[in-house]
Structure 1
Amino acid sequence: MSPSQFQELPDKMMVLVNKLCNHFEKSWQANKRPQAEAYLKKVPEEVRPILLQELIPIEVDYRERNGEEINLSELVARFPGSDRASLEELLDTRVVHQTELMPATSSGQVYAEATPPEELGDYRILEKLGRGGMGTVFKAIHKRMDRVVALKILHPQIQADAEFQKRFDREVRTAASLNHPHIVTALDAREDEGLLYFVTEYIKGSDLQSYVANHGPLPLLTAVDCILQTAQGLEYAHGLGIIHRDIKPANLLRDEQGTIKILDMGLARLISAANEEREENSALTSTGLVMGTVTYMSPEQARSTRDAGPASDVYSLGCTLFYLLHGRPPFLGRTAVETILSHANEPIPRLLDAPSLNIEGSLRREFERLFQRMLAKDEAKRIGTMQELIVELDRLQSRVAAIETETEVIAYSSASHNEISKGTKTLLASLVIFVFAASMIGFLYWRSQNGDGESMVDADPPATVRPAVVEASAASARPVATTTTAGYPGLSFNGNSSYVEIDDFPAPAEGPVTVEATVNVRTYQTANVVTLTGDRMTALFLSGDGRWGFARLEGTTSQLIQATEPAELNTTTHLAGIWTGEELRLFINGRQAETTPLEFELPPQTTPALYIGGCRPGALPHERFVNGDISRVRISTAAVHTSDYEIPAHLEPIDETIGLYLNSPVEGTTVTNVVDPDQYRGQIVNATPTVLSSEP
């Protein structure tokens, strides 16, 4: 925010903006993960751009401290009305705290960013590509050779470390000696104008973290192939005595041909060497050059960098495989410390625990055994070498490929049959229409010849014909949910960061409640479709094994049910969860579902709010996001359905309805409550407008 913009605000508004910024930062300090979108709603629309320019750098700062990455595409999706260039500038802004020590994050400290000149040594800077824990990456071109390269300028605080400088020349020579198709090639490393930088080959492609975040989890065969290629590159490096120590999806680049390239191999060795030296000469266990990302870090590496050997890279690779298949890491706490403790103490999750990973029998068991060995907490029980891992992955990859090939053949035959049937139906329909049209033309011609043609134009409608639009009764005079010609308007959720928050929605009251939603999910993952938080938390959810369910916290008792049949993917489904005041019921597409009880402890005393598609990070102990589309969300303080019912084409509020959302096309970043457009408005975070098919 430029000082002039802020100073031009009226005094009262200036005080309010300052107060909101202070509250926003204090909430981040308390790890409450406030959302900038909610704060923007507290000021007039014309002041929001000024407030946003102050809030974004604060959020970026604290998220990076927690080891999270924030990119421009996320900001553009969250703030669609903002100028892209301004958002990029805000992303580069860092809040510097001079009087307090910044805690180490999962990828190191939060470092100030070096500003490069237009030319650096033999290179001309073209554009910024990204920023990581160790440096900022630019696209550049060698002035004499006319070769495009990636140039990473190390953060000044890293360069200032004496142990780092001592090893720079020696270690970069080692990095340059690495020559493998799955390791990004180091081309140059030097110091110019007081800046240390690495130069590597420029790869056209995307890192795996960004790809999964934007497109969803990978198919099993693709994920295994990515891990196998990475293991081959690491086997080569391990043979030279080099341990990466920071394997994660963001450090694996996939080019346009599907080849995996490991990033930061040289820098990983360089920084870990400096860290080991400091550990040996100090009582401290960390220098601030924290090597590794805690989300993917082995238990022994979390204890000490010196304990990280080849098996640590195996562990990180296992965590990466889980992320590629589920869109989330296997262990994730609210803080870096909680995440480290989860790696050490929490049970290893199942790798294929989702019906979308449709592998059964002995092959499924072999995958689970391999994954358990990759993530074994005891290093002695873990797969110890990349060579052993490659053998296992290569064997399993071949078996999965054989299954998928067989499935494709069956699918092709079925599709061919359906196309023939579809063509036949289209031909018959065309013939019927032609015959009908010909008959009508003949009839009209006959009428015109008999003198009755004029009456068809001028005659009044018969008294028995009702108008097309009738006046609603007083009991149903509130707005009605609508469908478009294509289906139900709603929102699309990405499965890892998108949700709608209605932060002033009342907590669930004592007595009956019905939660309804129309949903189309793309993948099976544990997700909360609709959540009412508060002392009586109530949620409509999808379980990890792909079954719809409903939950209610009554007093200190958690009650949950889930359907016995799995949910259908990529299919519009109408859900209704009902708490009668005594028991839970679940209706799927208007029919009461057969259910079984589910053991799970719901969190007590959560802050009252209504969430759709997921929850604000920190609102609940676990993040559960929907990967799919949601429409027609209705909350009513009554048991609306007592028996099977027909799905209405138009959903409207009843007398007991307190909230009805996503019933008309969404515009902007808020959703409106049909019951009362001025009350309980919702904030959209990272979700985009869509239309669900009206055909189940």
Structure 2
Amino acid sequence: MAGEKSLSTLWGRVLIVEDEDYWQQVLRETLEDTCEVELASSYEEARRALARAQEEGRPFHLVTVDIGLPDLEGHPAEPGDSSYPQVKAGQRIVHYVNLHYPQLLCIVVTGRPDISTMQVRDFFKRYNVFDFITKDRFDLQEFREIVHKALMEARQQGQQAGGHRIGRYEILEELGRGAMGIVYKARDPNIDRIVALKVLHPTLSAYPELQQRFRREARSAGRLVHPNIVIVFDAAEDRGTSFLVMEYLDGPTLAAVIEREGPLSVPRSVQIAIQTCDALDYAHQQGVIHRDIKPSNIILLPGDQVKITDFGIAKLVEGPQLTRTGIVGTFNYMSPEQAMEKPVDHRADIYSLGIVLFEMLTGRVPFQADTPVAVALKHISEPLPLPRTLNPAIPPALEAILLKATAKDQEERYQTAGEMAAALRAL
């Protein structure tokens, strides 16, 4: 269209999530000369806009979030907790963005000045919130500068491609992001090999304890050599940036396959589960617990060969200096003992794999709720829905295996992943 600006001449694409007409107009008019802006007035509209942008290949680079959206009020983060109801409702949308679009930065723009307290600011830092702006002190130029700074940081982190290097590795493109780091496709010029680089997130580099966790990841993952585990070639540091060098895998995650195809067939689900069991059994024998088994950490190569990735929060069992507790893992697949911050061993991985098997067979996770805390409580106290009620094609013997793997009591589960693999092979 004549006169229309191309995205290359703009700072980036911004989704403004705001329900008040006045503030929609103010924010849009402040940014529309320098950004491509889209509006959403509710949580559901925001979810649809994010999904649509992703499907069209035109993802957003930044989201501004109003805390008190109308379809979120009255949904406190924890049952029975009415303190800061709108702030905790805001957790829902910020958490959603962080979980499903981890490359996106968020800016909170709110009419509630109490969210500027350090306690709540620290809470939102966990969810990739770039900055906070309160409407009672809103300044147009300051808002533009904050947005520009956020978009430049996103560009710096997400577009380190085209000749940029980390160490000796030439960065080709960004593959994805997680809580601990950013993964790039890269080339090793020494041997002309395509690799994957997992780089410690720059916003975490100031925290020594997280750098230590990253180094522990390198040591634990580097010990594992198995056909169903991603190979770690090297661990290094470049100008203060810590990174892992891993084999590059050109295949979808199990999460993407389930999202695209829905429930998988029984034979396919069983074969994927068996391979995952084999990999976990090997890792457990090496003293390594994954602690975050989920579909997005399982890559499927041609022929459905499984490759488990992201031992980023694995901990060596025998390491006496390491805490044996702490909530580490993803809530939808988290074992009851992890949710209760009790001592965790390899049987937590067996529980999580049972939940993954449930999702493969039914197309959904067993427990759903508005907040991560509520999901964790269900893992602790609610019985698992019977899989055959959701998919009658599941054989009773397979349902029995799944239910044993996901027993609340560790002692009632399979005691090794090898035992679970043997049961699956006997079907």
Query: Alignment partner for residue 227 of structure 2, among 181, 185, 193?
Result: 181
Q: 1:200 aligns with which of 246, 257, 263?
A: 246
Instruction: Pick closer, same or farther for the CA change 1:14–1:323 going to 2, 3 Å.
Output: same
Whole-Å Cα distance in 2 between the matches of residues 95 and 16 of structure 1? 14
| TM-aligned CA distance change 1:3 to 1:247, over 3 Å | closer
Q: 2:35 maps to what in 1?
A: none
Question: Secondary structure of the equivalent of 1:224?
Answer: helix
Distance 1:151 1:295, change over 3 A: same
1:303 and 2:340 aligned? yes
2:244 aligned counterpart, secondary structure: strand
1:17 aligns with 2:25: yes
**How far 1:4 moved relative to its partner?**
12
- Cα 1:131/1:58, change in 2 over 3 Å: farther
1:321 aligns with 2:341: no
Give the conservation status (yes or no) of the 8 Å contact 1:208–1:250: yes
| Deviation for aligned residue 1:238 | 0.1
Partner of 1:269: 314
2:275 corresponds, among 229, 232, 240, to 229
Distance 1:39 1:375, change over 3 A: closer
Match in the other structure for 1:294? 331
What TM-score results when the alignment is normalised by the length of structure 2? 0.68
Q: How many Å apart are 1:122 and its aligned residue?
A: 1.1
Q: Residue 580 of structure 1 aligns with which residue?
A: none
The structure with the largest helix share of the pair is 2
Secondary structure of 2:252's partner? strand
Equivalence for 1:238: 284
Amino acid at match of 2:121: L
AA aligned to 2:232 is A
Counterpart Cα distance in 2 of 1:38 and 1:167: 36
Give, in whole Å, the separation in 1 of the partners of 2:249 and 2:47: 35
Partner of 1:95: 107
1:390 correspondence with 2:427: no
**Secondary structure at 1:373's aligned position in 2?**
helix
Matched ranges for 1:455-534 at <5 A: none
Does the alignment pair 1:36 with 2:46? yes
What's the offset of the Cα at 1:368? 2.1
Report the CA distance between 1:39 and its aligned residue.
9.5
Cα offsets for 1:161-216 (capped at 9, x unmatched)? 32333465465233212100000000111111221111110011100001111122
Matching residue of 1:252: 298
Deviation at residue 20 of structure 1 after TM alignment: 8.8
The number of equivalent residue pairs is 337
Q: Residues 649-688 of structure 1 correspond to what in structure 2 (within 5 A)?
A: none
* 8 A contact 2:289–2:316 mirrored in 1: no
Letter in 1 for 2:292: D
Aligned partners of 2:13 and 2:182: how far apart in 1? 29
Paired residue secondary structure (2:121):
coil
2:178 matched to which residue of 1? 132
- Shift of residue 321, structure 1, vs aligned partner: 0.7
Decide whether the 8 Å contact of 1:36 with 1:56 is kept in 2: no
Secondary structure at the aligned position of 2:176 is classed as strand
Q: Is residue 368 of structure 2 the alignment partner of residue 358 of structure 1?
A: no
* 2:100 maps to which of 70, 73, 83: 70
Q: Does structure 1 retain, via aligned residues, the 8 Å contact 2:13–2:60? A: no
Once residues 259 and 227 of structure 2 are traced to their aligned partners in structure 1, the CA distance between those partners, rounded to angstroms, is 26
Percent identity among equivalent residues? 33
Q: Any idea what the Cα deviations from partners look like across 1:131-152, whole Å, max 9, x if unmatched?
A: 2222111111112211001111
SS at match of 1:331: coil
In 1, the alpha carbon distance for the partners of 2:317 and 2:370 equals 26
How far has the Cα of 1:223 moved from its partner? 0.8
2-structure distance, mates of 1:253, 1:38 = 26
CA distance in 1, matches of 2:349, 2:216: 23
Native 8 Å contact 2:274 2:425 kept in 1: yes
CA distance in 2, matches of 1:175, 1:5: 37
> Is the contact between residue 61 and residue 110 of structure 1 (CA under 8 Å) also seen in structure 2?
no
CA deviation map 1:371-416 (0-9, x unaligned): 21111111121222111101101112xxxxxxxxxxxxxxxxxxxx
Of structures 1 and 2, the larger Rg is shown by 1
Q: Contact 2:274–2:421 at 8 Å: present in 1 too?
A: yes
Aligned-partner SS, 1:136: strand
1:223-244 residue CA offsets vs partner (Å, 9 max, x unmatched): 1111110010000000011000
How far apart, CA to CA, are the structure 1 residues paired with 2:357 and 2:250?
Answer: 22
Partner of 1:653: none
Q: Which has the higher contact order (CA 8 A, sep 6+)?
A: 1
Q: Secondary structure at the match of 2:398?
A: helix
List alignment gaps of at least 5 residues for structure 2: 1-6, 15-19, 30-39, 51-58, 67-89, 110-115, 131-153
Partner SS for 2:414: coil
Deviation at 1:345, TM superposition (A): 1.5
Q: TM-score, normalised by structure 1?
A: 0.43
Paired AA for residue 371 in structure 1: L
What pairs up with 1:50-69 in 2 under 5 angstroms?
A: 56=63, 58=65, 63=93, 65-66=95-96, 69=99
Whole-Å Cα distance in 1 between the matches of residues 339 and 419 of structure 2? 24
Kindly report which structure 2 residues correspond to 1:598-637, keeping only aligned pairs within 5 A, or say none.
none
Contact kept in structure 1, 2:185 and 2:195, CA below 8 Å: yes
Please give the alpha-carbon distance, in whole angstroms, between the structure 1 residues aligned to 2:228 and 2:300: 10
1:156 alignment partner in structure 2: 202
Give the partner amino acid of 1:95.
I
Q: Deviations over 1:537-590 (max 9, x none)?
A: xxxxxxxxxxxxxxxxxxxxxxxxxxxxxxxxxxxxxxxxxxxxxxxxxxxxxx
Matched, 1:343 2:361: no
Aligned to 1:110: 128
Inter-partner Cα distance in structure 1 for 2:262 and 2:362: 8
Partner SS state of residue 425, structure 2: helix
CA distance in 1, matches of 2:418, 2:219: 26
Say if 2:254 and 2:295, in contact at 8 Å, map to a contact too: yes
Q: Is the 8 A contact 1:102 1:109 kept in 2?
A: no
